[in-house]
A and B are shown apart, each in its own frame.
Chain A
Amino acid sequence: MNIKFKVLLSALLLVLGVQVSFAQFTATGTVKDDAGEPLIGATIQVKGTTTGTVTDLDGGFSVEVPTNTATLVVSYTGYETQEVGITSANRTIDIVLATSAEQLAEVVVVGYGETSKEGLTGAVSSLKSDRLEQVPLASVEQTLQGNIAGLQSNLSNGQPGSQVEVRIRGQGSISASSEPLYVVDGVPLFNPGDGLTSQSETANVMASMNPNDIESVTVLKDASATAIYGSRAANGVILITTKSGKAGKPQVKFSAQVGFNDWAVSDSKNVRSLDAREYVDLFMDGELNRGTSIATAISRFNNNYPDPQTGRPAVDITPDGAGGYTVGEVRVDTDWFNELSRTGINQSYDMSVSGGNETLTYFASASYFDQESPIIGVGLDRYSTRANVSVQALPWLKLVNNLNVSRTYQSGPDDDTAFSNPIYTMYLLPAVIPTKDAQGLSYDGHKGFFMGGNNPVGSLSGDDDLYWILNRIVDNVSAEVTLAKGLKFKSNWAIDLYGYNEVYYRNARYGDGRNSNGFAQETTRNITNWMGSQTLNYNKTLGEVHNFSALAGYEANKVTTRSSFVQGQNFPPSPQLRTIENAAEIVGGTSSLTGFAFESYFGRISYNYDYKYYISASLRRDGSSRFGTENRFGNFWSLGASWRLDQEAFIQNIEAINELKLRSSYGITGNAEIGNFAWLPSVSFGIDYDGSPGGTFTNIGNTNLTWEQSAAFNVGVDFRVFDRVSGVVEYFWRESDNLLLNLPVSRTTGFTSATQNFGAMVNKGIELTLDVDLVNTGDFSWTAGGNISFIENEITRLAEPFVDGTGNRFRREEGREYNEYWVYDYAGVNPDNGLPLWYTDETREATTSVLAQAQRFYIGKSGTPDFFGGFNSNLSWKGLTLDANFSFTWNNYLYDATAWVTQGDGAFTPRSQTSRVLNRWRNPGDITDVPKFRWGGNSNSNTQGQSRHIYDGTFIRLRNVTLAYQMPSATVKKLGLASARVYARGINFWTWTRDPDLGVDPETAVNGYLGSPVPNMKTLSFGIDVGF
């Protein structure tokens, strides 16, 4: 606590220096602009004192003046400051302020402050509100993709409001998180990720925030920018700043948007479900190849697949007497894809008001956002309000309160290979199973033999429930005290409360509730994220050219999560009785408490010489409850420098160059996402036996366990040439060291792995950003831009290679790229007998149909792209604008993690398959890559982790295209409005994939994992923005 006492002492000394004074006379008057309109809230200060006031609604003021003659300093944002003399004899004055000609320098938000763009020594990119407003996506990270160099953002799940994976400058960790730190208005966001839900669907805390409330998103990429966040900064930092009011007339804005959602990449294109005749053909093929007689096969079919309306078989199959069979009437032919799909509706309404005067500014908003997935029963809606208020209570005291309240509701299905995941079962459910039975209830006649009788159409139409609600209140209070010229003290307090509630209900008739006469689980999670930070800021210029600024601070942050759930089963017959109070049996329940704390000291010093040469240094000392007792505190730091060459005469002589800046940095940051108590060797409880409590040795622990460390070097050039081309070129290198590894141990120990700080990995690459003003001729303008990032990854230290990932498709090995696939290399089908073939080893000289004789090897493909980025074009003619925004990913490969089932060649009797099975081997001589179909499987042809299930993931996507019309102000005025704009917008409107066999959405997890998620959507929406 030493540092705090020093701060306190110095603050006291400064405060005591302030003088106390008494009034001599009262001066009055008005302040107006050059058009004669009163300026509300202009500041009037008596020069040389702390006495002052602000103008009222009519622009009038009255101020106590302590001496007989004095000077009033009159200021108002956007106007030239004026000084006027006043005496006790002439105590009334009317002042007219002139509009300021000086343009405000572009300000960039950085950690614990702001700086001018010119003053940056680090790698920082930002997006402003105009790119974020009214994008019909639930959370703001979804808008980042393709817009920020070096930032890879993937929406691997189209569940509205799901987690968005973000990687800044590559994969930073092996077993800890590689996600960046989010800081909203100075408060580190706690995002428990998938930890929020108890089912596997994702809930995203960020989706509770209205993107329309955001003023800017700033991405901090190198150590110079991030090190001030110390042990949480290794994967980059994303700073989000919400809107605040500006002095002036109240601005009222109303925005409305309605849209329609469809699958972004329609599954029917390449991969679809089979129809009834195709399934019958498949079924019989599978039986006959297994050696079943035709009669038995038909009887088995008829037994499984009756038509509930007639009681006769779903499809008539009759032996033809010549060793074959014929297919007659088809009574049931369900198109599960169509039954599960719909046109989803997207709606968004947003009302905001902002304004204020010199002492008080405000921004307030209320919004409703509703997004329906193109899958039935899947969606999100959100109500959100915000009130950001700032009061200059006294000339030396500014108080700010930002309050945000929101309620987010999401509903969705189970995911991945859960039997009830609709995107998975729609391929597996035979078309000969109907959706309804004879009584009109959801069909359940297949529950005795088929995946628990799951009926996703019934489940998502209301037979079952899975929804979750996140209520969130964030309040952020700060007080800023000006202690002396250039010296400010800021105390910032925030509390972020999450109330999370999840309801899971499975009906009594089919699916997961069938054996318990209905099953329900309700989960509650309350999270408190508390933060307090105290900072001192000092700015000083010496001798005109030496500019200093310094920051010192202390911060404490604690997050506590309290969770509980209760499970009930055996429900009354009425299907609307679903709360657990109705259940006859309570079969489970628990509560738990976990959390973490950080305590930090930090500082930063910046210096520039005449705005030409800049250096800055930052330091942070972090302690965390997550670090082992032997390693509780760590130090993180950075050094950065920049040189504005455009300020040098020899560059200023070159006409073509408008701006040129060279900068470089180096520093050390940490990654503390290592688990709350992973370090603690412990005996855990909550294990019961025969009604008695139990506990046992469950965590090996490691008291030396600590943060992962990242050392990062950056060099970059910012330029603008020919008055129309601007850009950034950066090279970066970062080594992640002390990576947490779960090193495998012999399982005879009773453990599978032990966690250690051991591994190392390097990411290096180049980022290019370019923006060009192509045409700018009065009415018509055209700008275009883009960014591209090349990142190379290499694991540089690893004790032993280890196998990882679903399907064991990865083998992490020193010297290898992190996401290289290590699988059985599929060599197609033996044309003679329809058996699958694999290459025996990496020489690819021999093939085998016996999997045990084949080896896994690196097949030269990776889940990581060679490069990725985005490009955009903005056309404007009079009031019309056409903006298009593309993103792309090149040469990454995807692993279809459910293909081993959905293209199982009969391994899972009697599940249907995707339409790829239509290409299967039927007769000797057939050339195909789909093996013979046989119920019970075909020689491990469906094995997981083979190249058969790997696809080229290269794609280009038109992420956002908007055609807008800004109505002429004359027309608008007639309507009594300040402004009006109408537009049509398409999201994910067009997608190109290089691999013709990839029938599904190419946007997957950054490790290439392609599950069976809710599909990403394509949206066409229409909107209007009106200003009053």
Chain B
Amino acid sequence: MKIFNKLMILVTVFGLSACGDDFLDLSPSNALPFETAIQTVNDLDAAVNGLYSQMQSSDWYGRYFILLPDIMSDDVKQNSNANRGRVWAEYTGTINDVQNIPRNTWTAIYVGVNRANFVINSNLEFPAAVQTQANQLIGEAYAVRALAHFDLVRLYAQHYGFTANASHPGVPVVTEFNQDAQPARNTVAEVYAQVKADLNQAISLMTLNRGKGRFTKNSAKAILARVSYYQGDLAAAGSLANEVITSGAYSLTAGSNLLAQWADLGDSPDAILDVVNNTLDNVGSESVAGMYNVSGYGDYLPSMDLVSLYDDADIRKGLFVEDNKLGGGVLGNLRQAKYFHPRGEDNFPVIRLPEMYLIRAEARAVSGDTAGAIEDLMTIRRRAWAAAPDVTATGAALVEEILLEKRLELAFEGHRLFELTRQKKGVVRVNCTAPAGSCTINYPNDFFILPIPIEEINANPSMTQNPGY
């Protein structure tokens, strides 16, 4: 028996410990190997969702890309306890490597570029039955890649008209993944060319409509209209805007619904393209709304320079709410409530229909179609302010009226600084809470753009820093 016992023990023990050959082949539960992850059009769909998800980032459409152009301008002023982004608002930011906004925004948008490239370069053969869907998905990726480059070139490079042929440094154009790449900066002209090429490719590929939260042929055209507009090609911009307006895909929200639609969750008013957020996407106070809202960080306030431009009868004046804790004086007692949900669970507009009307208006005004221009202008103005007096201005004065309306309509949506520099104007803050030196910032100025992050300079010998930093 003893022999048998000993044998049993040994055999059992060795039997139990004999690990299979796959004992060491473990896989992560939330990831697939790079080579085999994308096989079908459904996989491609998931990859496109991953791409849009990046646009929600606090460092892109979730917050800083929207916040920076406004806090660096005359539409927004700093609350006395503002912390986040303050140095950029006050033009005291330096290449000081602990300033994380230029670094994180740069990184986040290039992550978006890489995710778009992951879709665009997936190089799969699709069955005919799903070719349309595949084309749509790849087209959307082209459109996001275009938007990403466009956003980067506006934040980190001087505007298109800064030099005669836009030959000044832009940002690197990245169209494929290469771990060892150390790209130099393309010129602004080259970046715009790539942006337009990508958008045109997107327009030609996309045929489906997957809702306001995803690119369509028309929303790509709307972005292309904006790109052309920033390039100074008003004719092209106006023509594209016209295509979007007349496509019938979008309609203006009624004035009476305007405030309600800003306040509720879901689509933005007049949305052409939204970054969709739902309650699961809440980022706490780390959203653009959290930066304005008293129950978030509440760091930034509407400037009275802007508030005073709205007529009391203008529905949009209802987007300013009182906060008596502010104590009046130069801080006033108003906050802006365009973004009502401080935790960032509401959709955020990337582009809205009124911008198309106003681009078309400006194009018409410049081309001499004064009546058409005024009609577009008043469509937007009277929606919010029914009693607005007739506009009789023509030429340059009419363009000024249109730009004023654009400022009022698109306030806090991340355009103001870009609009000013595009017009080669500086920032003049009358109602100024910044230190004395940064109440007037003259054009041209090195500090209208962000520094290239020091981490990029260190890792990429081809990279050059922006002057002044």
Nearest CB to that of B7 among chain A residues?
Answer: A15
Asked whether B294 lies within 8 Å of A491 as measured between CB atoms, the reply is no
Given A449-B81, A625-B25, A697-B118, is A747 in contact with B295 using a C-beta cutoff of 8 Å? no
Q: Does B420 contact A (CB under 8 A)?
A: no
- Expressed in whole angstroms, the minimum distance between the Cβ of B218 and any Cβ of chain A is 18
Given A695-B46, A807-B98, is A599 in contact with B32 using a C-beta cutoff of 8 Å? no
Asked whether A749 lies within 8 Å of B436 as measured between CB atoms, the reply is no
Neighbour of A685 across the interface among B46, B48, B214, CB < 8 A: B46
Nearest CB to that of A562 among chain B residues?
Answer: B29
Nearest CB to that of B152 among chain A residues?
Answer: A748
Asked whether B86 lies within 8 Å of A448 as measured between CB atoms, the reply is no
Asked whether A512 lies within 8 Å of B47 as measured between CB atoms, the reply is no
Q: Does B37 contact A (CB under 8 A)?
A: yes
Asked whether A752 lies within 8 Å of B455 as measured between CB atoms, the reply is yes
- Expressed in whole angstroms, the minimum distance between the Cβ of B171 and any Cβ of chain A is 8
Alpha-carbon gap, A748 to B460, bound state (A): 9
Q: Does B458 contact A (CB under 8 A)?
A: yes
Nearest CB to that of A743 among chain B residues?
Answer: B459
Interface residues of A in 656-688 (CB under 8 A from B): 676-677, 680-688
Alpha-carbon gap, A689 to B57, bound state (A): 12
Contacting chain A: which of B103-111, B252-260, B369-377? B103-111
Asked whether B114 lies within 8 Å of A695 as measured between CB atoms, the reply is no
Nearest CB to that of B19 among chain A residues?
Answer: A556
Nearest CB to that of B92 among chain A residues?
Answer: A940
Q: Does B298 contact A (CB under 8 A)?
A: yes
Nearest CB to that of A532 among chain B residues?
Answer: B17
Contacting chain A: which of B176-184, B196-204, B240-248, B409-417? B176-184
Alpha-carbon gap, A1002 to B444, bound state (A): 51
Alpha-carbon gap, A303 to B46, bound state (A): 51
Alpha-carbon gap, A362 to B430, bound state (A): 84
Asked whether A910 lies within 8 Å of B81 as measured between CB atoms, the reply is yes
Nearest CB to that of B331 among chain A residues?
Answer: A300
Alpha-carbon gap, A1027 to B30, bound state (A): 55
Alpha-carbon gap, A808 to B96, bound state (A): 10
Asked whether A808 lies within 8 Å of B31 as measured between CB atoms, the reply is no
Neighbour of A936 across the interface among B13, B46, B49, B86, CB < 8 A: B86
Alpha-carbon gap, A481 to B12, bound state (A): 13
- Expressed in whole angstroms, the minimum distance between the Cβ of A579 and any Cβ of chain B is 20
Asked whether B47 lies within 8 Å of A696 as measured between CB atoms, the reply is yes
CB neighbours of A862 from chain B (8 A)? none
Alpha-carbon gap, A397 to B2, bound state (A): 11
Alpha-carbon gap, A690 to B348, bound state (A): 12
| Best-buried of A4, A489, A698 by chain B (most CB within 10 Å) | A698
Interface residues of B in 1-56 (CB under 8 A from A): 2-3, 5-7, 9-11, 13-14, 16-19, 23-35, 37-38, 43, 45-54, 56
Q: Does B207 contact A (CB under 8 A)?
A: no
Given A534-B14, A594-B29, A746-B182, is A689 in contact with B98 using a C-beta cutoff of 8 Å? no
Given A556-B19, A697-B115, A697-B118, is A748 in contact with B110 using a C-beta cutoff of 8 Å? yes
Nearest CB to that of A808 among chain B residues?
Answer: B97
Given A588-B280, A748-B456, is A690 in contact with B34 using a C-beta cutoff of 8 Å? no
Neighbour of B276 across the interface among A4, A588, A690, A802, CB < 8 A: A690
Nearest CB to that of A852 among chain B residues?
Answer: B94
Nearest CB to that of B456 among chain A residues?
Answer: A747
Neighbour of A690 across the interface among B3, B29, B278, CB < 8 A: B278
Asked whether A296 lies within 8 Å of B329 as measured between CB atoms, the reply is yes
1/0 contact string of B59-85 vs chain A (CB within 8 Å):
000000000000000000011111100
Alpha-carbon gap, A749 to B11, bound state (A): 55
Given A12-B10, A296-B329, A696-B47, is A750 in contact with B29 using a C-beta cutoff of 8 Å? no
Q: Does A29 contact B (CB under 8 A)?
A: no
Q: Does B95 contact A (CB under 8 A)?
A: yes
Asked whether B294 lies within 8 Å of A448 as measured between CB atoms, the reply is yes
Nearest CB to that of A295 among chain B residues?
Answer: B329
- Expressed in whole angstroms, the minimum distance between the Cβ of A131 and any Cβ of chain B is 37
Alpha-carbon gap, A1012 to B114, bound state (A): 38
Nearest CB to that of B453 among chain A residues?
Answer: A747
Nearest CB to that of B294 among chain A residues?
Answer: A448
Alpha-carbon gap, A944 to B7, bound state (A): 68
Asked whether B50 lies within 8 Å of A687 as measured between CB atoms, the reply is yes
Alpha-carbon gap, A599 to B24, bound state (A): 8
CB neighbours of B364 from chain A (8 A)? none
CB neighbours of A700 from chain B (8 A)? 179
Given A632-B24, A687-B53, is A746 in contact with B17 using a C-beta cutoff of 8 Å? no
Interface residues of B in 423-469 (CB under 8 A from A): 435-436, 453-456, 458-460, 463, 469
Q: Does A819 contact B (CB under 8 A)?
A: no
Given A16-B3, A479-B13, is A514 in contact with B52 using a C-beta cutoff of 8 Å? no
Neighbour of A748 across the interface among B2, B78, B181, B276, CB < 8 A: B181
Alpha-carbon gap, A296 to B328, bound state (A): 9
Asked whether A18 lies within 8 Å of B280 as measured between CB atoms, the reply is no
Nearest CB to that of A491 among chain B residues?
Answer: B13
Alpha-carbon gap, A394 to B107, bound state (A): 68
- Expressed in whole angstroms, the minimum distance between the Cβ of A931 and any Cβ of chain B is 15
Q: Does B327 contact A (CB under 8 A)?
A: yes
Asked whether A556 lies within 8 Å of B14 as measured between CB atoms, the reply is no
1/0 contact string of B378-409 vs chain A (CB within 8 Å):
00000000000000000000000000000000
Given A450-B81, A534-B14, A599-B23, is A688 in contact with B49 using a C-beta cutoff of 8 Å? yes
Neighbour of A803 across the interface among B97, B113, B278, B327, CB < 8 A: B97
1/0 contact string of A7-21 vs chain B (CB within 8 Å):
110011001101010
Asked whether A515 lies within 8 Å of B17 as measured between CB atoms, the reply is no
Q: Does B231 contact A (CB under 8 A)?
A: no
Alpha-carbon gap, A512 to B294, bound state (A): 14
Given A680-B28, A745-B180, A908-B83, is A481 in contact with B174 using a C-beta cutoff of 8 Å? no
Asked whether A593 lies within 8 Å of B282 as measured between CB atoms, the reply is no
Interface residues of A in 464-509 (CB under 8 A from B): 479, 481, 483, 489, 491, 493
Nearest CB to that of A587 among chain B residues?
Answer: B279
Alpha-carbon gap, A694 to B50, bound state (A): 4
Given A689-B49, A697-B118, is A303 in contact with B325 using a C-beta cutoff of 8 Å? yes
Given A744-B455, A749-B181, A751-B179, is A682 in contact with B343 using a C-beta cutoff of 8 Å? no
Q: Does B302 contact A (CB under 8 A)?
A: no
- Expressed in whole angstroms, the minimum distance between the Cβ of A913 and any Cβ of chain B is 14
Asked whether A943 lies within 8 Å of B98 as measured between CB atoms, the reply is yes
Interface residues of B in 294-326 (CB under 8 A from A): 294-296, 298, 323, 325-326
- Expressed in whole angstroms, the minimum distance between the Cβ of A682 and any Cβ of chain B is 4
Alpha-carbon gap, A751 to B182, bound state (A): 12
Asked whether A690 lies within 8 Å of B52 as measured between CB atoms, the reply is yes
Q: Does A311 contact B (CB under 8 A)?
A: no
Asked whether A597 lies within 8 Å of B24 as measured between CB atoms, the reply is yes
Q: Does A909 contact B (CB under 8 A)?
A: yes
1/0 contact string of B244-287 vs chain A (CB within 8 Å):
00000000000000000000000000000000101111101100
Interface residues of B in 167-190 (CB under 8 A from A): 171-172, 174, 177-183
CB neighbours of B326 from chain A (8 A)? 303
Q: Does A733 contact B (CB under 8 A)?
A: no
Q: Does A27 contact B (CB under 8 A)?
A: no
Alpha-carbon gap, A594 to B29, bound state (A): 6
Q: Does B139 contact A (CB under 8 A)?
A: no
Q: Does B349 contact A (CB under 8 A)?
A: no
1/0 contact string of A442-473 vs chain B (CB within 8 Å):
00000111101000000000000000000000
The 10 lowest CB-CB distance pairs between A and B, nearest first, are A750-B114, A694-B49, A696-B50, A683-B37, A694-B50, A593-B29, A682-B31, A746-B460, A681-B34, A684-B31
25 contacts between A and B (CB under 8 A): A4-B18, A15-B10, A300-B329, A449-B298, A449-B325, A514-B295, A597-B26, A677-B26, A681-B35, A683-B37, A683-B47, A687-B50, A687-B53, A689-B52, A692-B45, A695-B46, A701-B34, A746-B459, A748-B113, A748-B174, A749-B181, A751-B111, A752-B455, A908-B83, A936-B90
10 other A-B residue contacts (CB within 8 Å) besides A4-B17, A515-B284, A683-B118: A299-B327, A448-B325, A449-B325, A516-B343, A588-B280, A681-B35, A682-B37, A690-B276, A750-B117, A851-B96
